[in-house]
Amino acid sequence: TTTTSTTAVPTTTTTELTTTTTGCEDVNENGICDKYELLRCETKYLTKTNLLVAKILCYIATVWVVLWCIITIIVNIMHKNSGHHRGIHFVEELGIIVLWIFMGALNLTFRNSSGFCKVISVVIHYFIVFVAACFVFEAFFAYAMARSKKIKNGSLPPFINYILPVLIALIPCLVTYFMKKSYYGNNGMHCFVFVSQEYMYGFVIPVWILLVIATFRSSLGNLACDQTTHKQDEKQCYWAKKSCKMLSFLAYWIFIAYLTCMFGSSNQLLWVLIIFFLQSLVLGPLIFVVHTYGHLNTVRKWYKPSGCLAKFYTPCPEKVETPRLFAPPPPPVARTPTPPPPKESPKKKKKDPPPREPTPPPPRAAPPPPPPPPPPVNVPPPPSPPPKDMGHTRAQDLWGWATTNGKDNRKDDVLFRPRPV
C-alpha cells in the first residue's frame, strides 16, 4: 500500500515573509521552502512491502532482458552471422543491457545514495539516447540496401555507425545535466527523473526526435517494392528487408517501457511498475526474434513449415523475372537532326574558280600488224560427186494422164470406179 506523509505544516501568525538562501518563501522558518513541504505532503511513495515487491519485479525484469540479449549474441555467433549490419545490432544489445541494469535494478536500490544516484540518472539518460541513435543509423543502413543505393554496407562509411551514436548521446545528456544540475541526486524515492520538473523534457524529447527519424526512414524502405539486385550482398539485402519491417515496433516498445519506468518511479506507483515488468517480459523474446530472424544463416537452419515458432523464420520467396504479356513497344530511337549548312553572307561569298581546260587523253598505241598468212599447202582436189539416179523418168507423164480427162472423158471411171460386189 502506498502511504501518505502525515507531517503537518505548522501554522504561524507572523505576517512577515521569511526567505531561505535560495530565495523561496519560508513562513515557518524551518529552512524548507513552503511549496516543497506541501508537495512532500501530497506525494505518495513506496514503503516496506510495496517497495520490496517493486524492487523484486524490477530485478526480474532486468535479469530477463539481459539474459535474452546474451542468448541473442551467442546464437548469432554460433550461426556465424557477421558483417556491419550485425555490428549495429550488437551495439544496440549492449546499450539495452546497460540501460536495463541501471534503470531496472539500480534505480530503486540506491535511492538514498546521493553521489551514486546522480551517476545512475546520467547513465540512464545517456544510454536511452544512445540506443535511439543506433536505431537511426540502422534505419539508414537498411534503407540504402533495400532501395539498392549501395552494393554493400549501406550509404555511410561503416565506422560512422559506431562513432556517431556515442557523440550524439553526449549532447542532450551534458546539456541537461549542466542546466539542471541541482535536480540530480538522491531524493529518497528513486534515481530517475521527476516528471513534474522541466528537466524531464531533456530525457524525453531527444529520444522522441531520433525515433521519429529512424521509423520514418525505415518505413520508406519497407513501403517500396523490391528493388534489390543480384549484384548486392545477399545477406545484407535479406537483413535490410526484415529490419525495415520490425525496427519501428522494437524501437517504440523500448521507448514505451522506458517512459513507464520513468512515471512509475517518479509517482511511486506500484501498478505502473508492474506494467513495466510485463513490458520487459515481452521485450526479451522480441529482441531475440528481431535480431535473429533477419539473418539468412539462422533462417536456413531454423525454418520449419510445420513449426509455430519457426514460422518467424520463413524465408523470402526467390525473385523470378517473368516476361510481361503486354509489354509496351520500345521507345523510338531519337535521331539527332543534321544541322543545316551555314548561310554565307553576300559579302563573304567566295568567287567561282576559273574553268579548267580539259586535259587531252593520252595517245593510243598503234595496233600490232596482222600475222602473215601461212604458206600454201599441196592439197589433193576433192573427188567428183556420184552420177544422179535417172529412174522413174516417166512419172510426170503418169501424173499428167491421171489429172486430165482425155478424149473419152474416162478419168473418173478409171480412178473412182466402185469395186464389184
Q: pLDDT tens digits, residue range 95-116?
A: 999 999 999 999 888 887 778 8
Q: pLDDT tens digits, residue range 11-34?
A: 433 334 454 445 566 666 666 665
Q: 140 with 164: CB under 8 angstroms?
A: no
Mean per-residue pLDDT for 125-150?
93
Average pLDDT of every residue of the chain = 79
Nearest to 288 by CA among 319, 313, 269, 255: 313
Q: Which of 133-147, 189-203, 207-221 has the lowest mean pLDDT?
A: 189-203
Q: 228 with 145: CB under 8 angstroms?
A: yes
Q: Which of 223-227, 236-240, 404-408 has the lowest mean pLDDT?
A: 404-408
Tell me the fold of 46-313. Rhopdopsin 7-helix transmembrane proteins (1.20.1070)
Q: Which of 45-54, 206-215, 323-332, 364-373 has the lowest mean pLDDT?
A: 323-332
> Is pLDDT at 46 greater than 70 in this prediction?
yes
Which residue ranges does the chain devote to CATH 1.20.1070.10? 46-313
> Is pLDDT at 378 greater than 60 in this prediction?
yes
pLDDT at 337: 72
Ramachandran class of 80: left when φ > 0, alpha when ψ lies in -120 to 50, beta otherwise: left
Mean per-residue pLDDT for 164-171?
95
- CA–CA dist 216, 171 (Å, integer): 22
pLDDT at 40: 47
Nearest to 134 by CA among 174, 178, 98, 185: 98
| 228 Cβ neighbours under 8 A, 6+ residues apart | 145, 146, 148, 237, 240, 241, 319
Pairing of strands 44-45, 3-4: antiparallel
pLDDT at 319: 59
> Is pLDDT at 248 greater than 70 in this prediction?
yes
Label residue 216 by pLDDT band (50, 70, 90). very high
Q: Higher model confidence: residue 230 or residue 253?
A: 253
- CA–CA dist 122, 129 (Å, integer): 11
- CA–CA dist 65, 219 (Å, integer): 26
What is this structure's pTM? 0.66
Mean per-residue pLDDT for 123-140?
96
